[in-house]
């Protein structure tokens, strides 16, 4: 006959309690083998010198190329870009732009070009001045030689649907020239019709200027005024 009862297994040496093993190891280990817990910054020594050296290398590898690129970009001479040449139709779409362009051209002695922005008596005056300079080219050449040094600005004093008024100022050889320009619209363009010297400051406030044609007297008169006048 066979005995079917389970036989107790012998305990394996690996299945020994962990607490007993750790207690034995702790008892056998010496206190000198344990790592010392740092108590001061000097003992902690963090970050260590190797970390600081690596951070320095990263900084130099980033900073030095940036400095080189910055210096190379600033030292390089950028090409001089001339302002784009726009047609007269574009320059005369707004009254202020037309006033600035005409004043700039006249201050630089370019009377024929300025006449394309003028109308009426002013246009004829500019054409006559251009013909006079063609007969005497020496003063005209001196005037056009300083055209690149002329600085012009303008303010729009008033504007209506058909008329406008602007003040323009040009600085030529340290001298300031100011003018009042009257403009009229013709289609999509504005033309300067008169240009007279202006002794005041360019930004002096002015009263409101009415540039809208006034209505007829019969429309402007209030109702009942005609009957009162008849009485």
Most confident of 6-20, 161-175, 198-212: 161-175
Report residue 23 as tokens. Answer: 């207690």
Q: What average pLDDT score do residues 179-207 get? A: 89
- For residue 29, what pLDDT is reported? 53
pTM for the model: 0.55
Q: What average pLDDT score do residues 150-170 get? A: 91
Q: What average pLDDT score do residues 166-187 get? A: 90
Angle at 132 between CA 127 and CA 133, to 5 degrees: 100
Q: Is the pLDDT of residue 227 over 50?
A: no
Q: Is the pLDDT of residue 24 over 90?
A: no
Orientation of helix 137-145 relative to helix 121-135, angle to 10°: 110
Weakest mean pLDDT among 20-34, 46-60, 124-138, 146-160? 20-34
- DSSP for residue 15: G
Q: Residue 26 — very low, low, confident or very high, per pLDDT cuts 50/70/90?
A: low
Q: What average pLDDT score do residues 47-58 get? A: 87
Q: How far is CA 216 from CA 114, 213, 219, 225, in A?
A: 36, 9, 5, 15
Angle at 178 between CA 173 and CA 181, to 5 degrees: 135
Please, which residues have CB within 8 angstroms of residue 118's CB and are 6 or more apart in sequence?
Answer: 102, 125, 126, 191, 192, 193
């Amino acid at each position: 006959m066979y005995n079917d009862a389970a036989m107790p297994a012998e305990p394996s040496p690996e299945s020994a309690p962990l607490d007993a093993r750790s207690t034995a190891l702790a008892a056998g280990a010496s206190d000198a083998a344990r790592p010392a817990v740092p108590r001061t910054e000097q003992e902690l020594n963090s970050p260590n010198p190797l970390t600081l050296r690596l951070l320095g290398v990263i900084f130099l590898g980033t900073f030095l190329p940036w400095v080189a690129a910055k210096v190379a970009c600033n030292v390089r001479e950028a090409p001089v870009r001339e302002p784009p040449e726009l047609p007269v139709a574009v320059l005369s779409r707004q009254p202020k732009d037309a006033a600035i362009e005409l004043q700039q051209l006249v201050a630089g002695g370019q009377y024929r070009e300025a006449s394309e922005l003028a109308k009426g008596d002013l246009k004829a005056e500019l054409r006559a001045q251009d013909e006079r300079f063609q007969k005497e080219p020496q003063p005209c050449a001196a005037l056009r030689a300083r055209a690149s040094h002329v600085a012009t600005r303008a303010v729009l004093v008033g504007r209506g649907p058909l008329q406008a008024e602007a003040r323009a100022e040009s600085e030529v050889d340290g001298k300031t020239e100011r003018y009042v320009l009257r403009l009229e619209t013709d289609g999509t363009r504005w033309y300067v019709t008169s240009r007279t010297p202006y002794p005041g400051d360019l930004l002096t406030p002015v009263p409101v200027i009415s540039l809208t044609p006034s209505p007829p007297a019969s429309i402007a008169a209030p109702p009942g005024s005609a009957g009162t006048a008849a009485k």
